[in-house]
Amino acid sequence: MLTLEDLVIAQGNFTLHADLAVPGAARVAILGPSGGGKSTLLGAIAGFMAPANGRILWQGQDIRHLPPSERPVSILFQDNNLFPHLTAAQNIGLGLRADLRLSASDQEKVRRALERTGLQGLGNRRPAQLSGGQQSRVALARMLLQNKPLMLLDEPFSALGPALRNEMLALLKDLAKETGATVLLVTHDPAEARLFAPLAIPVADGHVHPPADTVALLANPPSMLAAYLGRPGGM
Amino acid sequence: MASRAQPIGLVRWLGGGAAALVLMLALGTLGAVFLHAEGPGGLGPADWAALRFTLLQATLSAALSVGLAVPLARALARWRFPGRRLLIILMGAPFILPVIVAVLGLLAVFGRGGVLNDVLGRAGFEPVSIYGLPGVLLAHVFFNLPLATRLLLQGWQAIPAERFRLAATLGFSTRDVFRWLEWPMLRAILPGAFMVIFLICLTSFAVVLALGGGPRATTIELAIYQAFRFDFDLSKAAQLATLQFAIGAAVAAVALNFATETAFGPGLDRPVLRFDAARVWLRAVDGAMILAAAIFLLAPLSAVVIAGLGQITTLPAPVWHAAARSVAVALASTAITIALALPLALLVASPGQRRGWHSRVMQPIGYLSLAASPLVIGTGLFIILFPITDPVALALPVTAVVNAVMSLPFALRILTPAIADAEADFGRLANSLGLAGLARLRLLTLPRIRAPLGFAAGLAAALSMGDLGVVALFAPLDGATLPLQLYRLMAAYRMESAAGAALLLLMLSFALFWLFDKGGRFRAHA
């Protein structure tokens, strides 16, 4: 379980408040207008910015003071998720060992991860030689090998077309089920949220709201979310 | 805290060590010269004349270079023609051209027996001499006009094309465009460009050694050389060096406030449609400007190549030996440059440090060497090392070290933004994966900065290959570098061998630059 306890993140004039808990093995969409603080929230959980106040707990342990790589977290950003000068296999291997000194069994794991994500035979290619969808698969394969219990995704598939994006979400869903990880997916697409995540966390105006049932939330959105969705508020 | 994930420890140690070393080389050597100075020395009238000449030539050189660069850069910015790109690339060549080779080329065109006097003589005019101030200015403009042009061209291309389009719809004349678009840009860039060139000319040595001299055309740097070489007056040399250092530091401090980006890199090829400059007479003026500049820059180079072609196969053995020594010095110097520049640049560019004391203190340390005298650094090293070992045997290693310190500011200028870019693009990803220390250097930083690293190494190698400075003080007769050997051939009026040696030096300098630069870009995956 991920608990954000009276969390305050300050960035210049902008502050973000969060006080909520996310159950284990959940798939959660983080919804809201751009500039509302979705990426900031993910950045704080992943360790890229220090909170001004409050605690971040994973299974009851405070992880606030851990560097990003020591947190129980794997993360995909909007872009630059792969090193362009390394091959697909090397990029995936970084999920096992950051210095890329891979043993034979490590290399076998990389090979299986390539296979599992539909990239067999493409391990020696560099990102520039792969399609957008394949690049996303490489990033997901690395997440699979990182095997962290908390997967954070900050709109990593936003450059893909709708069909490919759905394909990636389906793959992500399968991988999360296999590893039992909790997934937080930032999206601004209600349909994507409905498709992927049983739970949704609305983020707007500097406030992170507790997770709620996605379908119910979208059918009957609170006012701040309604304005974003372009519908009259029901709450 | 998040910042704990940054691999600062190793970088801080290495960067701090490099900074300390540079400080020692720039200031410690000056101290060593001072400590060994005997007697009051004292600066005489000749030294004050040298100070006046130094300031005069540096001011005029910078003013002429920048002044001529304005119409040239404007012509290049507003006119497209076949060969424009090549010409702009060639503009970068004087930077890696050995000074002594350029001097030989300039003499072939403008010297007593050169093309110009040939033409003048046939027309019945008195021959002109370029020794003294005119020659020094000619050579400094030859070297710095391209630099100034590239700096200004960058300014021109920073003006968005949309502004010129807007100007065209508003019916701006050339004068309106100058007043509203070009002058504001120039006002921002000109002071910095002037300062950089002033600094470069301030410590210019080889040009003045070859074309100046005498009581009326001696710079401080040349006076330091003479104090060492002919009088071995360490006290006077140290005082002169302090004087030069003070001027250089003052100018550098002013220049830092006018910080402009130096345009040594490739690119610079985005011509903008200029409706205001479409008039025929403007095109003629622009064309004449470009043609004149091209001839001025290319004629000396061509003269070196033409004169050298027939001689290069019959060069005497000492020239080849000198060439081998020079290549070895250049390679060692390149290695030292990178070994100093990389940790310093990593420290300055590392995340969270950018606004810290590191960049405020470290970056100026990198630029110290612009104000320091290479001759004084070299002499200081000799004095420090003299009790330990034979100084003559050290001529080449000391030259390599001094050359490396001289290349350091350029290497820092090239590497720091590249590392900052790599960190900005991939730092978070590396942190999330726990990529730290040497693994981060090997898997993230070095692959990302390969091309600029190769470019910096190429510059360092070419600068060292062509440098005629500290080695002139201490090299034994049979231990010269190629530039020194060339200077000796010129001084002995063995012009045929000199022509061959000049071509060899030219080719080696360009080849070293090309090899490193290409090596950095070979199979580099952006």
Beta-bridged to residue B207, according to DSSP, are: none
What DSSP assignment string belongs to B28-50?
IHHHHHHHT--S-----HHHHHH
The residue assigned the tokens 């072939």 is B108
State how far the Cα of A110 lies from the Cα of A95, in Å rounded to an integer: 9
Three-state DSSP class for A39? helix
A129 and A143 belong to one structural domain: yes
Q: Give residue limits of the domains in chain B.
A: 1-36+316-526, 42-68+82-148+183-264+285-302
Three-state DSSP class for B197? helix
Q: Domain ends where: A131, A147, A163?
A: A147
Q: In 3D, which of A99, A107, A184, A191 has the Cα closest to residue A149?
A: A184
A34 is in which domain, residue-wise?
Answer: 1-72+148-235
Predicted pLDDT of residue B82: 83
Distance from CA of B445 to the nearest CA of A (A): 11
HEC letters along B425-494: HHHHHHHHHCCCHHHHHHHHHHHHCHHHHHHHHHHHHHHHHHCCCCHHHHCCCCCCCHHHHHHHHHHCCC
State how far the Cα of A7 lies from the Cα of A42, in Å rounded to an integer: 12
Is the confidence at residue A134, as pLDDT, over 90? yes
Residue A78 lies in a domain: no
On whether any CB of chain A is under 8 Å from the CB of B433, the answer is yes
Residue B394 is given by DSSP the state G
Residues of B in contact with A98 (CB under 8 A): 433-436, 439, 443
Residue A77 lies in a domain: no
State how far the Cα of A201 lies from the Cα of A204, in Å rounded to an integer: 10
- CA closest to B450 among chain A residues: A85
Predicted pLDDT of residue B351: 61
- A50-92 pLDDT, tens digit each: 899 999 999 999 999 998 989 999 999 988 899 999 999 999 9
Predicted pLDDT of residue B348: 80
In total, the C-beta contacts within 8 angstroms joining chain A to chain B are 77
On whether any CB of chain B is under 8 Å from the CB of A49, the answer is yes
Mean pLDDT, chain A, integer? 91
Instruction: Give yes or no for a contact between B273 and B78, defined as CB atoms under 8 angstroms apart.
Output: no
- A101-119 pLDDT, tens digit each: 999 999 999 999 999 999 9
Residue A107 lies in a domain: yes
Residue A123 lies in a domain: yes
Q: ipTM exceeding 0.90?
A: no
**Distances, alpha carbon B312 to alpha carbons B184, B225, B317, B324, B461, in Å:** 50, 31, 11, 15, 22
Predicted pLDDT of residue A152: 96
Q: Domain ends where: A147, A176, A202?
A: A147
**Distances, alpha carbon B495 to alpha carbons B118, B470, B502, in Å:** 18, 24, 10
- B399-416 pLDDT, tens digit each: 999 999 889 888 888 898
From A70, A80, A99, residue closest to B429, measured CB to CB: A80
On whether any CB of chain A is under 8 Å from the CB of B175, the answer is no
Q: Which of residues 446-475 of B touch A (CB under 8 A)?
A: 447-448, 450
- Fold category of B1-36+316-526 in CATH: MetI-like fold (1.10.3720)
CA dihedral B444, B415, B345, B425 (to 10 degrees): -40
Is the confidence at residue B494, as pLDDT, over 60? yes
Q: State percent of chain B over pLDDT 70.
A: 87
A231 and A157 belong to one structural domain: yes
Q: Domain ends where: A100, A118, A147?
A: A147
Distance from CA of B427 to the nearest CA of A (A): 10
How many domains are there within chain A? Answer: 2
- A139-150 pLDDT, tens digit each: 999 999 999 999
Is the confidence at residue B268, as pLDDT, over 60? no
- B332-352 pLDDT, tens digit each: 999 999 999 999 888 887 765
Give the predicted TM-score (pTM) of the model.
Answer: 0.82
Q: Looking at domain B42-68+82-148+183-264+285-302, which CATH architecture does it have?
A: Orthogonal Bundle (1.10)
Predicted pLDDT of residue B471: 84
Predicted pLDDT of residue B376: 80
Distance from CA of B325 to the nearest CA of A (A): 37
Is the confidence at residue B6, as pLDDT, over 70? no
To probe the interface with A, which of B3, B431, B432, B435 has the most A CB atoms within 10 Å? B432
Taking an 8 Å cut-off on Cβ atoms, the answer to whether A80 and B426 are in contact is yes
On whether any CB of chain A is under 8 Å from the CB of B184, the answer is no
CATH code where residue A196 lies: 3.40.50.300
Q: What is the mean pLDDT of residues B222-238?
A: 83
Q: Is there a common fold for B1-36+316-526 and B42-68+82-148+183-264+285-302?
A: yes
Predicted pLDDT of residue B112: 81
Taking an 8 Å cut-off on Cβ atoms, the answer to whether A48 and B525 are in contact is no
| CA dihedral sign of residues A112, A113, A118, A124 | negative
A34 and A139 belong to one structural domain: no
Predicted pLDDT of residue B481: 93
Taking an 8 Å cut-off on Cβ atoms, the answer to whether B4 and A67 are in contact is yes
Taking an 8 Å cut-off on Cβ atoms, the answer to whether A68 and B426 are in contact is no
Q: Which residue has the higher pLDDT, B113 or B497?
A: B497
Q: Which residue has the higher pLDDT, B182 or B39?
A: B182
Rounded to 5°, angle at Cα B281 from B278 and B286: 75
Predicted pLDDT of residue B164: 76
On whether any CB of chain A is under 8 Å from the CB of B425, the answer is yes
Q: What is the mean pLDDT of residues B379-398?
A: 80
Q: For B212, list phi and psi in degrees, rounded to 5.
A: -105, -130
Predicted pLDDT of residue B258: 60
- B282-336 pLDDT, tens digit each: 888 888 989 999 999 889 999 999 999 988 888 889 999 999 999 999 999 999 9
A62 and A6 belong to one structural domain: yes
- B389-400 pLDDT, tens digit each: 776 778 898 899
Residues of B in contact with A50 (CB under 8 A): 1-3
Residue A214 lies in a domain: yes
Is the confidence at residue B273, as pLDDT, over 60? no
- B133-143 pLDDT, tens digit each: 999 999 999 99
State how far the Cα of A170 lies from the Cα of B366, in Å rounded to an integer: 53
Q: What is the mean pLDDT of residues B510-518?
A: 93
Instruction: Give yes or no for a contact between B2 and A67, defined as CB atoms under 8 angstroms apart.
Output: yes
